[in-house]
Structure 1
């Protein structure tokens, strides 16, 4: 059994990455970056416990994909680390950021080989350019570029983080609290992904798979007298609407399920539970916008959507073109890639009895190609 735990920090919001995809969800082949980095480091630490700090909203989508402990991150990197440390039971802890994607096994081995020399072992790179601080040129020999992973004594690191001061790495907190730090030679291959262009220099990262994914969705809602009818994002001239927790737009609900199915991200109830009162009578176009945003953040691009509305009443034909344009605007794709069809059940079943409407939807997506833009 290993005497150290690996903590991977992946709870950030990627605000500086400046593309629709959160960097931890960039696809390497089929794997999101957080999973790729986890598996890559795991090969060097096969017996170590692994804790992944993730955004709380992403935990339900992460846990089915890995066998590590997943904890909710905080508002800052430091708070995320403190949350993860609550589950660390080993005397040593190795901490790194998911954004450092190409950590070499030799770097990990060097950290472990030196773990007895100080409270925290830190990879660092020398600075070869002239360094100016304010108006003062300082000795570059005294300047270092600090990297992760960093290997620390767990008890020391916990004590060091019992402060309101925010530190950008573990070793700074340890030293500020009176602990010791030992530098080992860093590795230029362990560069951090901060901006979109940073991925170009990381040779370990393969392109996303060109695979296309297809999902299906199906939903039914009964009619409700005196309620406005909204279908496919369009108001329909009708004396009744749909009985539902939201506005009851059955076409958008089926489409959301198709999109989530294509991206393997669960279903509409997982994303927008009907027990949540905040979604009471909500405009389903808002739900669709949030779903599309989720897909983009998780590394997907929407290709097309095809919707079949099954209704004896109302008449759908006068509204199909407006539905296409409306849905396309929320999907961020041309209207030519959105299709809306309508059919009846020839007066059979509850639809034929004019008791409600059913909708079947199909959607396809592929991974965002971060490598070629």
Structure 2
């Protein structure tokens, strides 16, 4: 349908999911959940225009998964409604189908049923009856008047935009449109449209394929910084450890080449680009930044987007200062920052036999490699 836009909402914090990974980034085989749902909708051939709403911190990475120019990515807001309003700013079609990626087991039949129902309504929604006895404010109520509302929901775009101008915070499109006097059409829903809210909900979603736990992803990183001998009061940091020398590094941040190489290795393994894209040296926010904090940010980002760190290997190339006395301290500090066992973090040190700028004691270089795997959500203990 050329006059229809699909909006996929995937910007939530997933605080109730209680797993290291956010639910929208659970790997379904090798695709994150949001991409799996997007592919499911795209396979229906009903939508020429698609808007994916993601968390601001994850939007850059989401875009790296899709090269289709008909798919637009929009930053989410502080609530579901705010995210939807952001998405609607980009919609130019008369109709909009809104779906939460937390309802992944959607099929073409429900979408076609909604399309048929919208002809005589402002909003069409799938519903299920409530099978249990329900009490409200101390008394039972007649359950035949109760409906469980699901997504996706199909709305007339102009009506939905007007409905969301209210100061009231609505939990779905049908509530907003009904509040302004619009007509809502109910169609039969499906138990397969169960919403993934808590970790135990995974068992109720048979369409989800477990992650590929056999594959490992490896990345490499390299960085180099010259010495700064003009500001002796500034400490030198290598691998998150203070080195006892009267000079530091010339850099926008603290210049910790070891951590910078390690960050690039981690980002390379995840396909996230490089450190400059995440922490650009043109941004004053990172001036003098503690690289250990930057690394922790990357570790959290990897965890939230479905990765576990398996191991890392680091080589520091320095004629000066002498790295040997600090190797073990660096290894343990980096293992702590990466949240991996110390034996899975390796640190090596070498010189260039007095060759080149390193050999002339003008700076230090570092190279690193890191290996990642998918978080295995099938395990009861939540660990791989």
TM-score bin (small chain)? over 0.9
Does 2:134 correspond to 1:131?
yes
Q: In the alignment, is the contact (CA less than 8 A) between 1:257 and 1:268 conserved in 2? A: yes
Deviation for aligned residue 1:89? 1.4
Q: TM-score, normalising length from structure 2?
A: 0.95
- Equivalent in 113, 124, 130 of residue 116 of structure 2: 113
Distance 1:212 1:314 in 2: 35
- Secondary structure of 1:363's counterpart equals strand
Match of 1:367 in 2: 374
Match of 2:55 in 1: 55
- Equivalent in 235, 247, 250 of residue 254 of structure 2: 247
Match of 1:267 in 2: 274
Distance 2:168 2:98 in 1: 19
Could you say if the C-alpha distance between residues 152 and 46 of structure 1 is closer, same or farther in structure 2, counting changes exceeding 3 Å? closer
Match of 2:320 in 1: 313
Deviation for aligned residue 1:47? 4.1
Distance 2:243 2:108 in 1: 61
Deviation for aligned residue 1:117? 2.3
Match of 1:342 in 2: 349
Match of 1:354 in 2: 361
Deviation for aligned residue 1:242? 0.9
Q: CA RMSD for the aligned pairs? A: 1.1
Structure 2 unaligned residues grouped into runs of 5+: none
Which stretches of structure 1, 4 residues or more, deviate above 4 A after TM superposition?
Answer: none
Match of 2:195 in 1: 192
Does 2:44 correspond to 1:44?
yes
Q: Which moved more, 1:108-117 or 1:259-268?
A: 108-117
Match of 2:157 in 1: 154
Describe the superposition over 1:145-194 as per-residue Cα deviations: whole angstroms up to 9, x where unpaired. 10000111111111111111000010000000010011101010011111
Deviation for aligned residue 1:304? 0.4
Match of 1:231 in 2: 238
Q: In the alignment, is the contact (CA less than 8 A) between 2:64 and 2:272 conserved in 1? A: no
Distance 1:313 1:85 in 2: 57
Match of 1:143 in 2: 146
Does 2:25 correspond to 1:22?
no
Q: In the alignment, is the contact (CA less than 8 A) between 1:22 and 1:298 conserved in 2? A: yes
Q: Which moved more, 1:345-354 or 1:278-287?
A: 278-287
Q: In the alignment, is the contact (CA less than 8 A) between 1:11 and 1:53 conserved in 2? A: yes
Match of 1:171 in 2: 174
Match of 1:220 in 2: 224
Deviation for aligned residue 1:118? 1.0
- Secondary structure of 1:65's counterpart equals coil
Q: Which moved more, 1:175-184 or 1:108-117?
A: 108-117
Q: In the alignment, is the contact (CA less than 8 A) between 2:299 and 2:338 conserved in 1? A: yes
Deviation for aligned residue 1:45? 3.5
Match of 2:78 in 1: 75
Describe the superposition over 1:294-339 as per-residue Cα deviations: whole angstroms up to 9, x where unpaired. 1001110000010000010111111111111100011011000000
Distance 1:25 1:256 in 2: 20
Distance 1:273 1:244 in 2: 12
Distance 2:161 2:105 in 1: 27
Distance 1:344 1:321 in 2: 18
Deviation for aligned residue 1:24? 1.0
Distance 2:306 2:376 in 1: 9
Distance 1:83 1:283 in 2: 34
Match of 2:340 in 1: 333
Does 2:187 correspond to 1:180?
no
Q: In the alignment, is the contact (CA less than 8 A) between 1:7 and 1:52 conserved in 2? A: yes
Distance 1:77 1:99 in 2: 12
Describe the superposition over 1:228-273 as per-residue Cα deviations: whole angstroms up to 9, x where unpaired. 1111111111121111111111100000000000111111111111
Distance 1:45 1:13 in 2: 30
Q: TM-score, normalising length from structure 1?
A: 0.98
